[in-house]
Amino acid sequence: MTTQRFVFRFSQAYRLAALPFGVAPSRCEVCIDDGRIGVRFGWWRVETTRDNIVDVAITGPYSFVKTAGPAHLSFADRGLTFASNGERGVCMEFRRPVPGIDPTGLIRHPNLTVTVADCDGLAAALKV
């Protein structure tokens, strides 16, 4: 299988809010390769196997205050959001929660939302 790469689509306001946290377009991508998925959002990383994804949905819009800047943890469900714009993204639901927000891996996330440029393409590539 060839590697599929999906870049994040940054709006200007999100780009400015993200810079102090090491998040820039050159440091953000979703890669699908050989049954694995890797997501990089500045200093944050999420990796899992493709078979760990049980559902995929296109979501949005998002509140700037709740999503701009660094990676965001939902206190409601421990979901993780890597947002670079407020319009739309792809939410991946996991069978087994994955580490991502903290360097120790103690906090695990049942889902991850990413705001890539090609939401439809990523959703199609991940469909279960």
Whole-structure pTM value: 0.95
What is d(CA 53, CA 49) in angstroms, rounded to the nearest whole number?
8
Query: 52, 94 in Cβ contact below 8 A?
Result: yes
- Write the CA distances from 8 to 15, 39, 45, integer angstroms: 11, 10, 14
What is d(CA 24, CA 105) in angstroms, rounded to the nearest whole number?
23
pLDDT tens by residue, 81-108? 999 999 999 999 999 999 999 989 999 9
pLDDT tens by residue, 1-37? 689 999 999 999 999 999 999 999 999 999 999 899 9
pLDDT tens by residue, 65-80? 999 999 999 999 999 9
Query: 9, 84 in Cβ contact below 8 A?
Result: yes
- Write the CA distances from 84 to 3, 47, 57, 63, 126, integer angstroms: 22, 19, 17, 12, 20
Structurally, the chain folds into a number of domains equal to 1
| Structural domain boundaries, residue 116 | 4-126
Provide CB contacts within 8 A for 18, sequence distance 6+: 10, 24, 42, 68, 69, 70, 84
Query: 59, 32 in Cβ contact below 8 A?
Result: no
